[in-house]
Each structure stands twice: as C-alpha cells, then as structure tokens.
Amino acid sequence: MSESNDLKAVKRALLSVTDKTGLVEFAGTLARHGVELISTGGTAKVLREAGLSVKDISELTGFPEMLDGRVKTLHPKVHGGLLHRRSDPAHVAAVNEHEILPIDMVVVNLYAFEKTAAKPGVHFEEIIENIDIGGPSMLRSAAKNFEDVAVVPDPKDYADLAAELDANAGSLSAATRWKLARKAFATTAAYDSAIASTLDALPAEPGSVEKTTELPVTLRIVAPRKTSLRYGENPHQAAAVYTDGTELGIANAAQLQGKELSYNNLVDLDACWALASEFEATVVAIIKHTNPCGVGQGTTVAEAYARALEADPVSAFGGVIGVNRVVDGVAAAEMAKLFVEAIVAPGFTDEAKAAFAAKKNLRLLELKPAPLVDRIKQISGGFLVQNEDFHPITAADVKIVTERHPTPDEMEALLFSWKVCKHVKSNAIVYARLKDGFGQSVGIGAGQMSRVDAARFGAMKAALPLEGTVAASDAFFPFADGLETVAKAGATAVIQPGGSVRDAEVIEAANKLGVAMVLTGVRHFRHG
C-alpha cells in the first residue's frame, strides 16, 4: 500500500520503557513490518532475549550511555531525528549534512516516580534519581512533530496500534498520530505536576523526605482517567474515576469479582476503608451512604463482622463492608448471607473467594493501603484544601473532668467510640460498648442539625441495649441537654472535645447524673 499524505510509514522506532507490559508483542509487530528497532539498556535486553534484532542507542548517536544512564538519549541525533520536518527541504538538508537518521516512532513510558515517592521509607536520593529527564524530552519532541512521528507513551495503546499497522502495511493515520501526541503531552504534564507536588511537600532544606504540614503554594490536580463509570450519584450525572498513579488506595484497588463499580460504591468504600484502617485491632465496618451503621472488633474477622452486623442489621442491608485484615473462609461464609454491594480488604483467601463466588454481582476489592494525604474539595470558583483529620488519642491524652472516673472498660469503650465518631457526619453521637472485651457500636446518630437530635437519633437507631454504654460526641456539648439525653438513653460515660463556654454547666450535669466524662481537646467535625 503506497503512503498517502494522511498515512505515514513507520520505518525506524526508538523503544525505551519502564513498564515492559506488552513490549515484546508490540515490538514484534513493528519488526514484522520491517521497522528498524533502536533501544536502550533494559529495554534492549528484553527485546534481544525475545529474539528480536535491536540496535543500541549508542550505535545511533555514536556516543556511549554515561553517568549511570543519566545521559543516553539527550543527543542531537535522537532529537534531530524526531524533530525535523520531513516536508521542509531545509530541515532535510540539515539532518543529511549531520548524518541524522529519521525516527518515525517513539515508544517511551517514564520512570515510576509516583510509586517510588509513595514507598514507605524511601530515601531522598531515590526520589531524585527517579525523576526522568530523557523520557519526557523524547515524548515532547515526538509529540511536537506528530505530523511525521508517532509517539506511544501508554502500553494500553499497543493492541490498537498493532491492528492499524497491520491494516495499513506498517503506516499510521494522521488522526492516530494526533491522538497519541495529545496523550503524550498530557503524560508529561501529569509527570511534571507529580514531581512538583511531591517536592513542594518536602522541607526547604534538601535531603529530608519528612513531609511538611504546610499546604502547597500552587494546587496541582493532574490525574489520568482510570475508567468511566456508568453514572454519578444519580443516573443523569456523568462520572469517572481518576488515579494518582501510586497503585494504592481505593481508586487503584484490584476488583476480584462482581459488577462494575459505581460512583456511590467508591465513595462508600473509601469511607469504609478509612474507618476500618483507623484501628490496629481486627475491625469490620459496615457503611451506608458514607456513615457507619455498625462497627465491631474481634479476635477474628468473623467475630468482628458478627458484632458489626448485630449493631444495626437493618441498615446493613445493601451497604458496603470494610475489613482491615485478610478475609478468610469462615468470615466470608457469614458475609455471604447478607446482601451487600461491595467488600474491601487487604486480601481474600482462596476459601473466601470460593464462598463469595456464587454471588456474581458482589464486588470484591483488594487494595494496598495508601498514606494519608491532604483532602481537596471543590467549591464554586475554586478549591478547599486541608490536612487529613489525623490526631490519635490514648487514655493518657484525655482529661477526666467529673467526680466519677471511667472504669478501665469504660475508658476502652470510650476510645473505641471516639475513633468511630470521627468517621460519622456531623453532628454526630456514637453509642458503644465492650462485648467480651471487644469494642462494638450500639447506636449512631449521624448528620443531625442539632447535637441533642443526634443523641436522640443514635438512641433510636440502637438495636442493642443502651444501658451501660458509653457515648462519643464529635464536638462539644453546647448545652447540658445533649449530655442529659445520652445519660437518659443509658450511657454511663462520655467522651467529647470540650471547649464550650458552658463546659462547667455540662460537667455539673454529668456529676449530678453520675456520668463519667473525659475531654480530648480535639474536635472531629465531618461535613462531607
């Protein structure tokens, strides 16, 4: 097939990739069409081991790779081969004079900077060394000259490109080259943004990787779309999920089975995982519309699940489940009895997968935990950014302000309820207890316009006895009526931030009622 103005033949390709997925198969397609393959380092080694003929980049440039690989593609014979316009006689004369060969395709993906920077214990030097220089330069050069050069930054495009090359005898259309160029510029923009944002979060003095608490001077939000969703919160809203490139957290979790995830599933799963991962002990959290309806601890996942479900079995129907341990077969057999939309955990045993297999629509997500990050919320005209709400509280941190002190069991239950309360929409009240030595939510009042209403609603939602429970309040009691409501419901001890101008009045009411009360000095408002 002869080449037209629209179709451009690929005669020489430069391949240099970090992600080797599909590389050999795609390079094989190029070779089958007579394309000369030029490559670097590890990429060349992989291709040769697959039996493909490859020319080293040093043969093209006449200059060896040097400085531990820092300099290999930054050369006029690379960038001249990419940037010269084949239709410009002056450009053609210049490259011929300097013996620069045309390069018609660049297959490049970049050092995994985000993954490296997100690694626990990563060293400063490793972060800096994973800043790719040559790769983005080649992508930009090739993308700028898209009229003559095809640039391939994403392995996901290999299959479609191979099909087009086969259909057009080794040529690609102008529309394809333009589409690839736009993707390449988006790739380099996201990469530079990730570097700038990561370095912005480090101390001003070089060498340390301790994140600062200062918020960035410039907010950069660049993330590739991972997948489109069927719709958003409602069917008339379009939606998609975007990834930060770390392969961590809910956005990057592996879906092991089940229907396509919805927008609401992902929002609820993120809330569920955040709550479950708050605890060091084995915990199961059941979430409905981002609010917990049941949270339980146990020696096993099955025990923790039984306590979480017992707290509110009605609301649990159609919810999502978060587990901070690998789910085993025993726990899975119990969870499979309830209709739930999705379950997220660090892993599932083979027995668990077998127990869930019959529930074809149930979504199972296996994730790698992500570190805490700043929270971003869009408002009209801009964005709000805040640090994650992270402020651990122990028994040593609270201030006992009543005549009666909490018993050891009450104190343990108070700390449990405090962690749960942090994940409930404000105004929030959480009733909880210890059952056989393990924490269990009993009633949760979420998202009420007054704190006394949250106390009443939490008591109304309780499916278990409230007598002898403890109560947590995400913010201070502005009046004694909230404290009196939880005491009337059956709570014997209360944990709250304190700080109201009427603290003395609230403490006096607690003393009259014989309720133990501790103050944390920390508020946990959660407005969504």
Which residues participate in catalysis according to the annotation? 144, 289
Query: Which residues, in sequence order, are CB contacts of 165 under 8 Å at separation 6+?
Result: 10, 29, 30, 33, 171, 172
Helix (H) or strand (E) holding 134: helix 134-144
Q: Which residues of 83-120 are buried (b: 16+ CB within 10 A; e: fewer)?
A: bbeeeeeebeeebeeeebbebbbbbbbbbbbbebbbbe
Cα radius of gyration rounded to whole Å, the chain: 29
Please report, for residues 217, 414, 454, the alpha-carbon distance to residue 481 in angstroms, rounded to integers and kept in the order given: 44, 20, 12
Number of neighbouring beta carbons within 10 Å of residue 283 = 28
Pull the structure tokens for residue 216: 């960035």
Contact 519, 395 (CB under 8 A): no
Contact 352, 328 (CB under 8 A): yes
Closest CA to 429 of 392, 460, 387: 460
Helix and strand tally (H, E) in the chain? 19, 23
Closest CA to 359 of 259, 478, 461: 259
Pick left, alpha or beta for residue 306 (phi over 0 → left; psi -120 to 50 → alpha; otherwise beta). alpha
Closest CA to 264 of 225, 295, 229: 229
